[in-house]
Structure 1
Amino acid sequence: MVRLPFVSLLGLQGALALSTFSPRFKREADAVPFVNPTLAGGSLLDRATPTLGEPLNVIISGLSSPGVLSDAGFLTFVNAIGFATECLGIHIGDPQAANLGDGHGYVNQTIELRQDFGNVPVGSCLESLAGGNHLRLFRQNGPTANTGALFLAVSQEENVFEGHTISPDGYDIGRDKFVQGALGASGFHTVAQNITGLLAPGSTGINHGIATDGVVVLLTVTTA
């Protein structure tokens, strides 16, 4: 696991207090990294099945550079880490949804990206066959929490012969690999904090019954 300073959720209580933001008139002084989804009925688990979810284990802070938080800018950032859009633009399987406590309720993922093994055009096809890291993106931009923060469900997958399921310990492994790549991404400056208290450790409610350590990593990403 990537070793980073731990920050208790209680230590961020003031900064992450539930606030109301106007999409057009949000002042710089009002900006926060993110709002805790559980304060308004949301969850740090997305909805993979009617009863189980995958952990939203990485958050790109709303205090990151605005360009990084846009769809195109985020894609540029993760391209630098080694992720690309799905193989030939083909997606198999239903999208997952998340409730980020921002007033929108459950919303389907914005995009799903896969490890590209250094080949942006077709590398994600190899991930679909051989396994590797992948992520789902959700944006916190509703009327009661318009932070712009990006919540990611990152996980390591097995190869197609293993049913392309999540690897044992794959949620923590996927998170740590993503964070390690983010800290070394060329053209970006990334600061990481481990946060506890948002996601309960263990396997309760988690898809495939795979336990996690309960750590969510907050990344603040600025363009270099």
Structure 2
Amino acid sequence: MFLAHIAVVFGALYSVYAFPSSVQKRAVDFFNPVTTGGSMLDNAGSGGGEPLNVIISGLSSPAVLTDDGIINYAKAIRFSTECLGQHLGDPQSANLGDGNGPVNQTVELREDFGDPNLGTCLESLIGGNHFRIFRQNGPTANSGALFLAVSKEEDLSQQHTIVPDGYNIGRNELVNNALGTTSFGGVSYTTVAKNITGLLAPGSTGVNHGIATDGITTLLVVTIN
């Protein structure tokens, strides 16, 4: 009886302490980067930053938050990897206040116009929506959340600069694609959204290209069905 009691206690302690990062990762939607020295603007390398205007919650299904998982989810909402795997331009970085400091984007995904294999080649030519992903997983703020810098850009002849009001437009288009039930590759998702104010300051201060934003960040919680 005594040994059985000890086993129960040990098992309880093991479940609490053996996997602290996974427990913490599932505890919150995200941590506000600004409160721990980070920023809700990434570093675009031109003296300004792109707003991190969509967050995929750390409370989403864990498989969604992996590298492969977010790419499959992106394909379910009409985005895909870059044309023939080729990327033009330098990666951008972001400091999410998680103790990792500035970290380069995990991946950049582009609108695929319904063709996940070659559609992003069309986006590279005529412009469209795209986003960069940054993961909050450092030692001081390990939410596992994915912070997205979403924007709509001009065509190749305009060097892919952001369209007027392109940060708000890009965010809204992505969210509209994501809401409700979507699927790709045999995986079905349900996405709900909530708009948050107070993370990003409205206006154009510090924003790349001087394009003003409305200050709204949209939080997405994505659940695999």
State TM-score, norm by structure 1: 0.87
Matched position secondary structure for 2:34: helix
Deviation at 1:29, TM superposition (A): 9.7
Secondary structure of 1:102's counterpart equals coil
* TM superposition shift of 1:162: 2.1
Whole-Å Cα distance in 2 between the matches of residues 179 and 114 of structure 1?
A: 14
Identity %: 65
Once residues 123 and 179 of structure 1 are traced to their aligned partners in structure 2, the CA distance between those partners, rounded to angstroms, is: 19
Task: Look up the match of 1:210.
Answer: 211
What is the root-mean-square deviation of aligned Cα atoms in Å?
A: 1.6
The one-letter amino acid of 2:102's match is Y
Output the CA distance in 2 between the equivalents of 1:181 and 1:30.
25
Q: Specify whether residues 122 and 203 from structure 1 end up closer, same or farther in structure 2 by C-alpha distance, changes over 3 A only.
A: same
Q: 1:24 aligns with which of 1, 14, 19?
A: 19
- Change beyond 3 A, Cα 1:29–1:73: closer
Correspondence for 1:4: none
CA distance in 1, matches of 2:18, 2:140: 10
Check if 1:198 corresponds to 2:199. Answer: yes
**8 Å contact kept, 1:23–1:146:** no
1:179 is aligned to 175
Aligned counterparts of 1:194 and 1:128: Cα–Cα separation in 2: 29
When Rg is computed on C-alpha atoms for both structures, the one with the higher figure is 2
Equivalent residue runs for 1:106-125 within 5 Å: 106-125=102-121
Are 1:147 and 2:148 an aligned pair?
no
Where does residue 10 of structure 2 map in the other structure? Answer: none
Of the three residues 81, 90, 94, the one matched with 1:85 is: 81
2:32 is matched with 36
1:42-61 alignment, distance < 5 Å: 42-49=38-45, 51-61=47-57
> Aligned-pair distance for 1:173?
0.3
Q: How many residues align?
A: 203
Letter of the 2:154 partner, please give it.
E
> Offset of 1:161 from its aligned partner?
2.0
Aligned-partner SS, 1:125 = helix
Shift of 1:30: 6.7
Higher helix share: 2
| Residue 188 of structure 1 pairs with residue 189 of structure 2 | yes
Q: Please say if residues 116 and 123 of structure 1, whose CA atoms lie closer than 8 Å, have aligned partners that are also in contact.
A: yes
Distance 1:210 1:131, change over 3 A: same
**Structure 2 Cα separation of the partners of residues 109 and 162 of structure 1:** 23
Using the size of structure 2 for normalisation, the TM-score is 0.87
Secondary structure, aligned partner of 2:73: helix
Contact 1:56 1:152 in 2 (8 A): yes
Residues 23 and 92 of structure 1, relative CA distance in 2, 3 Å threshold: farther
Q: Does 2:160 match 1:159? A: no
User: Could you tell me which residue of structure 1 aligns to residue 72 of structure 2?
Assistant: 76
* Structure 2: gaps of 5 or more residues: 1-16
* Equivalent-residue separation in structure 1 for 2:19 and 2:201 (angstroms): 35
Residue type of the alignment partner of 1:91: H
Distance 1:194 1:135, change over 3 A: same
Greater relative contact order: 1 or 2 (C-alpha under 8 angstroms, separation 6 or more)? 1
1:121 Cα deviation after fit: 1.3
Alignment map for 1:90-105 (pairs within 5 Å) = 90-105=86-101
